[in-house]
Amino acid sequence: MLGVGSKFPNFNLKAVSEKPIQDINIDNVFINIDNNTYKGKWKVIFFYPKDFTFVCPTEISAFGELNNDFSDRDAQILGVSVDSEHAHWAWRREQKELKELPFPLVSDLNRQLSTDLGILDKSEGVSQRATYIVDPEDNIRFVMVNDLDVGRNPKEVLRVLDALQTDELCPCNWKKGEETIDVNVVTAKNEKQNAVSN
């Protein structure tokens, strides 16, 4: 599996547009998305096993509810599965929580991107429930994989994105607006404590 520090693989895939359902027509329902589509932006790319399932819509809609927060951080969300773009479109029309989804659902129908990332569940033939945060230079900065039966926490993904964007040391459970770790202050404090104890 590709991990932190690796370049996110090149891809060129079909997707269902993020436009509101009432604004979608036959001419704009399907779009192409590749590495350059969101060039210079942070990307949160999450993979889910299948459309028309039970856990997947709960986390997809949770990402949708936080879309403005991600957008405020110059991050584009992409949801990806091995279903076709036609299945994505049918699911968006049918599933109440997905009708106003504010980000594209991408089709990795040939499973190439999932294979390149090393997240294809060979026994099930679907993408693992993986989440990537990719920086504007296409470097993977965060990866997390959940069991197929367990939904992820989009608020935690947002917290990690906030931490990554500080370019500073962030302690456990750090949240945006809290102090980061200043190495110089910690070093000076430790030196002072060592001097007192000697």
| Domain CATH number, residue 140 | 3.40.30.10
Mean pLDDT, residues 93-120 = 95
Question: Catalytic residue at 56?
Answer: yes
> Of these residues, 56, 75, 98, 157, which one is catalytic?
56
Convert the pLDDT of each residue in 40-69 to its tens digit.
999 999 999 999 999 999 999 999 999 999
What pLDDT shows up at residue 23? 86
What is the domain extent for residue 159?
12-167
pLDDT over threshold 90, residue 187: no
Q: What is the DSSP string of the chain?
A: ---TTSBPPP-EEEEE--S-GGG--TTTSEEEEETTTTTTSEEEEEE-S-SS-SSHHHHHHHHHHTHHHHHHTTEEEEEEESS-HHHHHHHHHH-GGGTT--SPEEE-TT-HHHHHHT-EETTTTEE-EEEEEE-TTSBEEEEEEE-TTS---HHHHHHHHHHHHHTSB--TT--TTS--B-HHHHHHHHHHHHHHH-
Structural domain includes residue 46: yes
For residue 198, name the pLDDT band (cuts at 50, 70, 90). low
Structural domain includes residue 132: yes
What pLDDT shows up at residue 183? 79
pLDDT over threshold 90, residue 188: no
Structural domain includes residue 177: no
